[in-house]
């Protein structure tokens, strides 16, 4: 698993990196090979109109050539990452459900003909 970090107006510390890496490990189960996972985490710290900090994060995840993307904003680094993670999980689940439905529709389970031999 290869994780690349990019930040603007914020220094991504070891605590944040550790949190992100710990949570991203679960995406390895979706890959045929863990080395085929590429993750780009982009984090930007901005100010709201009322001078409160806001964090914008985009997470690009590539698993076995399939790309997934989430872009979220929140008031804390951990909360914004959790929202990105949930969004990517939802996209992956939707894709898996679609694949299963398609297999069922296209005859994943064949009808068995019972002949006179039985």
Q: Where are the domains of the chain?
A: 2-105
The pLDDT score that the predictor gives to residue 24 is 87
The pLDDT score that the predictor gives to residue 1 is 83
The pLDDT score that the predictor gives to residue 115 is 53
pLDDT in tens, 70-94: 999 999 999 999 999 999 989 888 8
The pLDDT score that the predictor gives to residue 94 is 85
Q: Which residues of the chain have pLDDT under 50?
A: 112, 118
The pLDDT score that the predictor gives to residue 103 is 66
- Distances in Å between the Cα of 67 and the Cα atoms of 37, 38, 62, 111, 116 are 10, 9, 4, 35, 51
The pLDDT score that the predictor gives to residue 7 is 93
The pLDDT score that the predictor gives to residue 66 is 83
The pLDDT score that the predictor gives to residue 51 is 79
Bridge partner list, 59: 41, 70
The pLDDT score that the predictor gives to residue 118 is 45
The whole-angstrom separation of Cα 84 and Cα 118 is 56
In this structure, which topology does domain 2-105 adopt according to CATH?
A: Double Stranded RNA Binding Domain (3.30.160)
% of the chain beyond a pLDDT of 70: 80
Instruction: Convert the chain into a string of H (helix), E (strand) and C (coil).
Output: CEEEEEEECCCCCHHHHHHHHHHHHHHHHHCCCHHHEEEEEEEEEEECCCCCEEEEEEEEEEECCEEEEEEEEECCHHHHHHHHHHHHHHHHHHHHHHHHHHHHHCCCCCCCCCCCCC
Single out the residue of 85, 22, 12, 23 nearest to residue 45, CA to CA: 12
């Amino acid at each position: 698993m290869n994780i690349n970090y990019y930040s603007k107006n914020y220094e991504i510390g070891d605590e944040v990196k550790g949190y992100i890496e710990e949570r991203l490990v679960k995406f390895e189960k979706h890959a045929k090979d863990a080395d085929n996972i590429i993750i780009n985490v982009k984090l930007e710290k901005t100010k709201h109109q009322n001078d409160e900090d806001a964090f914008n994060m985009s997470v690009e995840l590539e698993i076995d050539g399939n790309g997934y993307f989430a872009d979220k904003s929140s008031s804390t680094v951990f909360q914004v990452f959790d929202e990105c993670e949930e969004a990517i999980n939802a996209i992956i689940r939707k894709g898996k459900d679609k694949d299963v439905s398609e297999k069922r529709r296209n005859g994943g389970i064949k009808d068995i003909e019972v002949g006179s031999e039985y």
